[in-house]
């Protein structure tokens, strides 16, 4: 069945450091790919998404590119801030988001000043 694998956390970075959180997936066909973020005490929020190969999703300085050849959707940010501290979930969906999501385990990011 479909699955998502993302790098284990926790990840601790200094402010302004470069961030990469790896995510790979297993699915038949062409799923849509998502990154969700969960700030402390809040629900999951959609951070960015991509619906077809080579699409790049971007938001709030975060980027991820849908790589069909490597079945990957790695999350990157050039310069993290303390306010980026949260748990990040990679996910896929068979359609554009109107079907249940398959999630990775989540990666906790802590950014220190």
> Quick one: which of 58, 29, 56 has its CA closest to 46?
58
Residues linked to residue 45 through DSSP beta bridges, in sequence order? 37
Using CB under 8 A, which of the segments 19-27, 51-59, 68-76, 91-99 binds another protein?
A: 91-99
Query: 77: helix, coil or strand?
Result: strand
Residue 101 binds to another protein (criterion: CB under 8 A): yes
| Identity of the residue, 42 or 69, whose beta carbon is nearer to another protein in the bound complex | 42
Measured from the CB atom, is 61 or 100 closer to another protein?
100
Per CB under 8 A, 69 contacts another protein: no
Q: How deeply is 58 buried, as exposed, middle or buried, from its count of CB atoms within 10 A (0-12, 13-18, 19+)?
A: middle
Tell me the H-state helices in 1-113: none
**Which x/- pattern, by CB under 8 A, does the window 16-55 give for another protein?**
--------------------x----xxxxxx--x------
């Amino acid at each position: 069945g479909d699955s998502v694998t993302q790098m284990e956390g926790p990840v601790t970075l200094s402010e302004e450091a470069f961030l990469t959180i790896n995510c790979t997936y297993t699915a038949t066909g062409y799923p849509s790919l998502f990154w969700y973020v969960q700030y402390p005490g809040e629900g999951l929020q959609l951070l960015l998404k991509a619906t077809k190969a080579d699409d790049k999703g971007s938001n709030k300085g975060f980027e991820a590119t849908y790589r069909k050849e490597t079945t990957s959707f790695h999350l990157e940010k050039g310069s993290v801030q303390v306010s980026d501290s949260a748990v990040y979930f990679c996910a896929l969906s068979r359609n554009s988001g109107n079907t249940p999501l398959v999630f990775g385990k989540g990666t906790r990011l802590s950014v220190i000043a």
